[in-house]
Structure 1
Amino acid sequence: MNQIIPNLRQLKCFQAVVELGNFSRAAESLHTSQAGISHAIRDLEELLGARLFDRTTRRVELTEAGRVFAASALPGLAEIEASVRAVRDLVELRMGMVRIAAPPLLAATVLPQLLIEVARVYPDLRLRIEDVGTDMIAPRVRNGLCDLGVGTFSPDEDGVEMQRILHDRMMVFVAPDHPFTAEQDIPWARLARQPIVALTRESNIRLLTEFGFESAGIPLRPHLEVHQIHTALSLVESGAGVAVLPTYAFAALRGRRIAARPLSDPTITRNVSLITARDRASSPATIAVRGMLRQVLRSMVPDTDQQASGGSD
C-alpha cells in the first residue's frame, strides 16, 4: 500500500487558508500568488481523495474531511516548525549546553573566566563544569558524558581528537624575595638543599617531579606534602618552602606574591590540550566554547615556548 504523505508546502498553504479563511490573504501571508495557493490545495485534495474546503464567493469553510485533517495535521506542523526553530537556535548559539571536564586547578581558575566570557558573548548558552582527576577526563569525553576536556593527556589517547593550546613546563615557584628570582632558569640540582613542597603520589605532577630529581641525581625528600596546587602555592607564599609545579599553576597566581622560574637539566615539558570525542560531531556551541577556552587559557597561562618567567616578582 502506497503511503500518502503531503509535502511541507501543501501543509503550509492548508494552514494559512484555515487560519485566515481566505485564499488571497493566505497567499499574501506566504508571499505567493493566489493561484499558487489554489494549486497546492487542489494537489493536497487529490492526494487525500477528499475535498477539504467548501468555497463560496464570500467565504471558505472546512469540510468534515478538512476538519479531521486539520485536527491531526496542524499540531504536527507546529511541532515540525518548533523543531526547526530549536535546531536554528542551536546552530546560531541562542541555546544549548556544553559540558566541560577539567582538573581541579583549571576548573577553579580558568573556567570561571570562561563562564564570564561565554555569558557576555552567548548569554543563552549554558556550561556545566566537571572538576575531576586528569585520568577521568578523556574517558568522560570519549563516552559522551562531556563534550570537551582540557588538561594534559597522553599523545596516543584513544578515541579523542586533541588540539594543543600551549606547552606546559615544570617550574619552581618561590617567594618573591627568594634568591632564585635573580636567575633566568634553575637547574634541578639546585633544589637539593631547598625545602620542597610536593604534591602527593596520587598526582601525575609528583611523578614528573620525581623524574626531575632522579635525572639530576639528587634525592627527593619533601619538606611538606599536599594534595592540591592551591595549598602548595599558599605554603610557598608564606615562606614555608618552594614548590615544583607545571606552568598552568600560573592560572592560580592572581594577586599572590609568588615568582616562578623554569627548571632545566633536564627540561621537562608536556602539552596542555583540548579534547573532543573522535566519533562524535561537535555541536556549534562546543566549537564556539572551545575557541573561547583556548583564548582564555592563553591569556592566563604563559606558553613556555616564550620562556615566560612571570609571577609577582
Structure 2
Amino acid sequence: MPMNITIRQIQSFLHVAELGSFTRAAEKMHTMQPALSQQVRDLEAELGIRLFDRTTRRVELTEGGAEFRNIAAKIIEDLEAAARNAHDLAERKRGRVTVAAPPLLAAAIVPRAIADFHRKYPGLQVKLIDARTDQIVEHVRSGQVDCGIGTFHAGESEISSTLLARDSLMVFCTTGHALAGKPTVGWRDLDGLPLITLTRDSGIRLLVEVGFEAAQIRLVPAYEVGQITTALAMVEAGLGVAVLPTYAWSGARGMTISAVALLPRITRDIVMITRTGRSIAPAVSAFARYLGKYTTVSAATAEGAKPSSARKRTR
C-alpha cells in the first residue's frame, strides 16, 4: 500500500530529533508548535511506529525513530543535492552535452564552438562523436547522444530539427584555375571539366546531379570519393574541380584552393536534430547557439572566399 509521506513531515521530524524539543523545532521552522506536532503525528501514523518518547521535560527518539532518522537524513540530503544539481543545470553551471557530427563538421566547426562554449560555461562538458549521417540519426533516436548536426532527410521519424545555417553549393578549384578569378560560376561552365564528386550515397552528390540535370549537361565524374576532405585534397593536387557545400571551406584552410559561388544556387539546411518528445536540456540549448554561430561564420567565410594567403603560396 503506497504511503503518503511529505517532505515537510520528514523535515519536522528531523528538526525535533536534532533539537530535542517541539518548541525549538517550531521556532527554527518558523511555524506554530501545534502544526509541527501534527506533522510528526501524521508521519508516525503513516510509518506505523512511534518516533519519539515524550515526557514533560524532554523528547527522546525511540529505537525505531533513531533508525528512521538515519534514513530520513539521507533522503533530505539526496533531495537537496538533486535540487542543487537541477538549479545548476538550469543556470548552465554544470552538465554534459553529447553531440554527433559528420567528420568535416566535427573537425572544422564543432571544436571551435566547444572552445568558445567552455569559455562561457566552464562547468559544462561537451563530448563529440564523429559519425556518418545515418549513424547520427540513429544515435539521436536511441538517446546515445543529446543532439546531432549536419544535413538530414526531412521527415525522419522521432526526430526534430532546428535550423543552424543555410549553405549553398560552390565550385572548389585550384587558385590558378580559370574559374578561380570569376565572381560567380554557372553550372554550364562545368561542362567538360574533370569533376571530383562524392559517392552516390551522399546527399551532396544527389544535389550536384540535380544541378547538372537542370543545366542539361552530363555528369561524368573523373573521381568519386567518400569524404569531402579527400575531394579537397584531390582538387589541390590539380586533378579536377569539385562541387561542395560552403562549409567545406572550413576544411580547405591553408590549401591552395579557391571557392566560387555557383549559380543558380542550390541550398541546403544545416540543422541540429534532437529526439522528438524529449525535452531539450538547458545545456544543449546553450550549446546550439554556439553551433549556429560557427556554422554561420563558416558559411559566410566560404561565400566570400578570397584565399589571398593561399594565392601567395607556390606549388
TM range (shorter): 0.7 to 0.9
Opposite residue 43 of structure 1, the aligned amino acid is Q
Report if aligned partners of 1:171, 1:245 keep a CA contact under 8 Å in 2.
yes
Q: Distance in 2 between matches of 1:25 and 1:191?
A: 87
Alignment match, 2:297:
299
DSSP 3-state at the match of 2:108: helix
Matches within 5 A, 1:218-257: 218-257=217-256
Alignment match, 1:128:
127
Q: Residue 65 of structure 1: CA displacement? A: 4.2
Residues 170-224 of structure 1 show CA distances to partners (whole Å, capped at 9, x for unaligned) of 1101222322232221111211232322223332222222332333233333333
Distance 1:267 1:75, change over 3 A: closer
Alignment match, 2:196:
197
Opposite residue 275 of structure 1, the aligned amino acid is I
Report if aligned partners of 2:101, 2:136 keep a CA contact under 8 Å in 1.
yes
Report if aligned partners of 2:150, 2:272 keep a CA contact under 8 Å in 1.
yes
Alignment match, 2:52:
52
Opposite residue 40 of structure 1, the aligned amino acid is L
Does structure 1 residue 40 correspond to structure 2 residue 36?
yes
Matches within 5 A, 1:55-70: 61-70=60-69
Matches within 5 A, 1:54-203: 54=54, 61-203=60-202
Q: Distance in 2 between matches of 1:40 and 1:276?
A: 47
TM-score (norm 2): 0.83
DSSP 3-state at the match of 1:101: strand
Alignment match, 1:281:
279
Query: Structure 2 stretches of 5 or more lacking a match?
Result: 309-315
Distance 1:5 1:191, change over 3 A: same
User: Relative to structure 2, which stretch is displaced further, 147-156 or 168-177?
Assistant: 147-156
TM-score (norm 1): 0.83
State how many pairs are aligned. 304
Q: Residue 303 of structure 1: CA displacement? A: 8.5
DSSP 3-state at the match of 1:267: coil
Q: Distance in 2 between matches of 1:174 and 1:300?
A: 18
Q: Residue 27 of structure 1: CA displacement? A: 5.9
Distance 1:154 1:25, change over 3 A: same
DSSP 3-state at the match of 1:130: strand
Alignment match, 1:270:
268
Alignment match, 1:309:
304
Q: Residue 275 of structure 1: CA displacement? A: 1.8
Report if aligned partners of 1:184, 1:309 keep a CA contact under 8 Å in 2.
no
Over the residues paired in the alignment, what is the CA RMSD in angstroms? Answer: 2.8
Q: Residue 21 of structure 1: CA displacement? A: 4.9
Opposite residue 273 of structure 2, the aligned amino acid is I
Q: Quick one: percent identity of the two aligned structures?
A: 38
Q: Distance in 2 between matches of 1:73 and 1:201?
A: 62
DSSP 3-state at the match of 1:70: helix
Q: Residue 60 of structure 1: CA displacement? A: 5.2
Q: Distance in 1 between matches of 2:3 and 2:219?
A: 78
